[in-house]
Homo-oligomer: A and B are copies of this chain.
């Protein structure tokens, strides 16, 4: 590892924009519940979720935040977490994350979670909202709609959702539903009606490829930055269908419209970097991979992600869900990994210190500010935690 230097200091002080995360659970978690939130798999008998890279990172870097020694045993960790209670635990980790704004995907909540405002209050920061479009579509279907009305109803609902105060982006989990090996063209109205008829009759999650394409093109019409899950996720995924290179034809058709933010990307972060290098509208992060690979590997993942990525194209996100440990760990891994990477290049005289500091500020904060506009670039931290533009 690089010896700590001025880049480390700068990144330690930089207030990050976490441009994609979820809420933290608003309840005390039983040991099994906490453990199951630690990994992207389920809880398995005989295999502790603490015996993973992320489990080690929690014991090493989160235990001290709860006043425990480094590498505290899991049982001690769980005891102390319960003892402090979820409010205090969330407060400590969200504060430790050192973010000035969190962009919160509010469309996935199998647990009771903090709202963006609650997250902001706990963190002493601001929060904005990211609207998950599949949830909007499924809500439209759930309320009952004629197949021929689906397209208009979905669009109206999405437009209404993004008018909510604090919304700065939309998101799609197309990667989970169909994968990216889709016909890239905007579907014709009749196609959408036909597909909607089938879906609305059968019910369930939105997994129809025509309707997913329609959703992506509706996102383009909304005009907000579009976040796309790519790569690493839970067992519900076909990983190879989430390779962002599969989006190439769609990105070519959608060029000149909205920014597209490729989330997570691992293990296809080099493919994502290629897309960010050749398509103006494409950006990426390596969220989720940061805390799951942990401090021992986040520099390596960032090194690969940055091999050809323009420095205005990488953003920071934690993709933390459920346990506030991850909002903290994501930030810690990003800071440490990026500082090690940049400082080593400064030390080898491959990079000047002023350039290194610019790259740190861009990727940690300014690229997100530039993309998401005033709610993110000048967030107020008023008591409600809701972002309002500074004057």
- Residues of A whose CB lies within 8 Å of any CB of B are 1, 39-42, 44, 46-47, 49, 51-54, 56-57, 60, 70-71, 232, 234-235, 237-240, 243, 245-246, 248-249, 252, 266-267, 270-271, 274-275, 277-280, 289, 292-297, 300-301, 303-304, 306-313, 345, 348-352, 355, 359, 370
Contact = CB atoms under 8 A, between A and B. Distances in A.
Given A1-B348, A40-B277, A51-B359, 10 more contacts: A46-B312, A47-B280, A47-B313, A51-B310, A71-B355, A234-B278, A237-B248, A238-B248, A292-B308, A293-B307
A45 to B, nearest CB: 9
Contacts of A313: 47
A41 B240 contact: no
A39 B308 CA distance: 9
A350 B56 contact: yes
A322 to B, nearest CB: 16
A35 to B, nearest CB: 12
Contact of A51 (B243, B308, B312): B312
Given A41-B277, A280-B42, A345-B296, A56 B271 contact: no
Given A40-B277, A277-B40, A303 B297 contact: yes
Task: Give this chain's copy count.
Answer: 3
A179 to B, nearest CB: 11
B352 A271 contact: no
B240 A278 contact: no
A295 B300 CA distance: 16
The 6 closest A-B pairs by CB, nearest first: A267-B270, A235-B278, A71-B352, A240-B245, A293-B307, A41-B278
A295 B344 CA distance: 12
A350 B58 CA distance: 10
A40 B278 contact: yes
A284 to B, nearest CB: 14
A309 B39 CA distance: 10
Contacts of A300: 303-304
A296 B235 contact: no
A312 B47 CA distance: 7
Contacts of A303: 297, 300
A258 to B, nearest CB: 15
Contacts of A277: 39-41, 52, 292
A236 B199 CA distance: 36
5 contacts: A1-B348, A52-B309, A70-B352, A266-B270, A294-B350
Contacts of A235: 252, 278-279
A177 B343 CA distance: 41
A64 B227 CA distance: 41
Nearest to A243: B240
A44 B255 CA distance: 12
Contacts of A350: 56-57, 60, 294-296
A238 B52 CA distance: 32
B239 A280 contact: no
Nearest to A48: B312
A53 B276 CA distance: 13
A42 B352 CA distance: 26
Contacts of A44: 280
